[in-house]
């Protein structure tokens, strides 16, 4: 079975690593703070910069819960339309900026740099608002020598998208003025001790690895242990994300080898790309894998996503469509592209604990 996330067990059995995430961040980011989740990092980053009643522009192709921290700050989440290549629809975005716009957020989807970053940065400068670089998916992606997430006035990265950890995020304070105004709250930093959540995650990871071949039992283990970021309405998921970075996460990321993780994910990405190259019903979202990019997944647009997911499941691959859209996007006339993408984009796992040979085998099963 090729799981969607890297394994804590595989991590614990691997060799000591030469570098760690902190050193990597120290090299690439001027000022940053650790958090339990990207959503809370976003809240604390925006809190000193905004007033209740102002608005933040977000791309329509976004998980519903990302707007929750804005709601907590009394800010309106205002969604702009996107293009099929995931770039912002610049005309739509610009038409939604007004006096009350405090920030525009762009997303480096799946660890790839957002197209038109500079155009949005210029617009934000011109209209006097902040630019948030949301790199939730690709904490290790470096583009033209710059770590994604650090390119805006502020930015975020989420660690559980790449590593076998229960939580974890980074808030980047890329702009001196933003860094000066930043005030850490009780949710900034790392928790003091190991808690029940850490233990639950370890037990769940062990059980999931042991029971990997028995989907039914695994399903029950997951429901007992609590799904990571899955169930519940967006507000509940946000409340559950209000923790500091756990000791367990800090311990695991103190020991990751950023270049090894990136290399493994890139290799797996290329294997998927080769295996699916000849399928006319499946199209990779990105034509190239630029140097320095650490893909979160191999994202494809599928003509018949349900059929692809069923075939992947038969081949032992856990995959999913992405994301669960906000209610206003599910209903809004301007958001047809975001809706179509959320139905058609299937995210295939490339994580560092999948062997390329396992992907080859799954690919062979897909062809049968």
Ligand X SMILES: Cc1ncc(COP(=O)(O)O)c(C=O)c1O
Residue that is written with structure tokens 């990751």 in the block:
256
Reduce the secondary structure of 115-176 to three states and give it as a string. Answer: CCHHHHHHHHHHHCCEEEEECCCCCCCEECCEECCCCCCEEEEEHHHCCCCCCCEEEECCCH
Cα 340 to Cα 98, 333, 355: the distances in Å are: 28, 12, 32
Q: Which residue is nearest to ligand X (CB)?
A: 38
According to the binding rule CB under 6 A, does residue 107 interact with ligand X? Answer: yes
Rounded to a whole number of angstroms, the minimum distance from the CB of residue 309 to ligand X is: 19
77 binds ligand X (CB under 6 A): no
Q: 63 or 349, CB closer to ligand X?
A: 63
What's the closest the beta carbon of residue 158 comes to ligand X, in angstroms? 3
Indicate whether 46 belongs to the interface with ligand X (CB under 6 A): no
Contact between 134 and ligand X by CB under 6 A: the answer reads yes
* Stretch near ligand X under the rule CB under 6 A, chosen from 36-44, 47-55, 92-100, 184-192: 36-44
Q: Under the criterion CB under 6 A, does residue 63 sit at the interface with ligand X?
A: yes
Residue spans of alpha helices (H) in the chain: 8-13, 21-28, 38-46, 68-72, 90-96, 117-127, 176-181, 196-210, 215-225, 234-240, 247-253, 258-276, 305-314, 327-331, 336-344, 356-367
Angle at 173 (CA atoms; ends 170, 177), nearest 5 degrees: 160
The answer to the question of residue 66 lying near ligand X (CB under 6 A) is yes
Piece of 22-30, 32-40, 200-208, 357-365 that binds ligand X (CB under 6 A): 32-40
Interacting residue with ligand X among 50, 158, 342, 352 (CB under 6 A): 158
List the structure tokens of 8: 């804590």
Provide the minimum distance between the beta carbon of 127 and ligand X in the complex, in angstroms, as a whole number: 22
Count of chain residues binding ligand X (CB under 6 A): 13
Determine, following the binding rule CB under 6 A, whether residue 150 of this chain makes contact with ligand X.
Answer: no
* Residue 273 binds to ligand X (criterion: CB under 6 A): no
From 33-41, 219-227, 306-314, 344-352, span contacting ligand X (CB under 6 A): 33-41
Q: Which is nearer to ligand X, 11 or 110 (CB)?
A: 110
Which positions from 160 to 179 touch ligand X by CB under 6 A, shown as an x/- string? ---------x----------
CB 204 within 8 A of CB 222: yes
Query: Does residue 349 bind ligand X (CB under 6 A)?
Result: no
Cβ contact 171:13 at 8 Å: no
Say if residues 158 and 140 touch (Cβ distance below 8 Å).
no
Q: Within positions 316 to 335, which residues make up the interface with ligand X, using CB under 6 A?
A: none
Q: Does 241 bind ligand X (CB under 6 A)?
A: yes
Contact indicator for 56, 102 with CB cutoff of 8 Å = yes
Strand partners, 55: 76, 101
Contacts of 142 (CB under 8 A, 6+ apart): 28, 148, 292, 293, 294
Closer CB to ligand X, residue 39 or residue 273? 39
- Residue 245 contacts ligand X per CB under 6 A: no
Any contact of residue 49 with ligand X (CB under 6 A)?
Answer: no
The answer to the question of residue 8 lying near ligand X (CB under 6 A) is: no
**DSSP state for residue 335 in the 8-state scheme:** G
Closer CB to ligand X, residue 66 or residue 312?
Answer: 66
Q: How far is the CB of 39 from ligand X (least distance, A)?
A: 4
Binding positions for ligand X, rule: CB under 6 A: 37-39, 62-63, 66, 107, 134, 136, 158, 169, 229, 241
């Amino acid at each position: 079975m090729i799981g969607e996330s890297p394994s804590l067990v595989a991590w614990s059995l691997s060799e000591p690593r030469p570098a760690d995430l902190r050193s990597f961040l120290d090299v690439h980011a001027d000022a940053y703070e650790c958090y339990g989740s990207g959503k809370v990092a976003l809240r604390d980053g925006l809190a000193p910069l905004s007033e209740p009643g102002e608005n933040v522009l977000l791309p329509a192709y976004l998980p519903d819960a990302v707007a929750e921290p804005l709601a907590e700050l009394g800010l309106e989440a205002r969604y702009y339309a996107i293009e099929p290549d995931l770039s912002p629809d610049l005309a739509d975005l610009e038409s939604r900026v007004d006096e009350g716009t405090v920030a525009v957020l762009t997303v480096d989807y799946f660890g790839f740099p957002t197209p038109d970053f500079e155009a949005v940065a210029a617009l934000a400068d011109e209209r006097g608002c902040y630019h948030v670089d949301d790199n939730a998916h690709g904490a290790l992606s470096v583009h033209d020598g710059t770590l994604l997430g650090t390119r805006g006035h502020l930015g975020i990265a989420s660690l559980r998208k790449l590593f076998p950890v229960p939580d974890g995020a980074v808030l980047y304070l890329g702009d001196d003025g933003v860094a000066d105004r930043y005030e850490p709250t009780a949710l900034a930093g790392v928790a003091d001790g190991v808690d029940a959540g850490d233990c639950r995650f370890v037990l769940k990871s062990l059980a999931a690895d042991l029971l990997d071949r028995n989907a039914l039992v695994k399903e029950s283990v997951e429901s007992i242990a609590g799904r990571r970021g899955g169930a519940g309405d967006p507000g509940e998921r946000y409340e559950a994300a209000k923790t500091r970075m756990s000791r367990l996460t800090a311990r695991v990321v103190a020991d990751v080898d950023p270049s090894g993780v990136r290399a493994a994910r890139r290799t797996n990405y290329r294997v998927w790309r080769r295996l699916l190259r000849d399928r006319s019903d499946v199209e990779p979202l990105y034509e190239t894998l630029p140097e320095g990019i650490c893909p979160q997944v191999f994202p494809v647009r599928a003509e018949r996503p349900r059929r692809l997911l069923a075939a992947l499941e038969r081949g032992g691959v856990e995959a999913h469509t992405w994301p669960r859209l906000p209610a206003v996007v599910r209903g809004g006339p301007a958001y047809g592209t975001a809706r179509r993408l959320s139905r058609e984009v299937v995210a295939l796992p490339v994580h560092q604990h999948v062997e390329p040979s396992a992907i080859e085998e799954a690919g062979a099963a897909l062809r049968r």
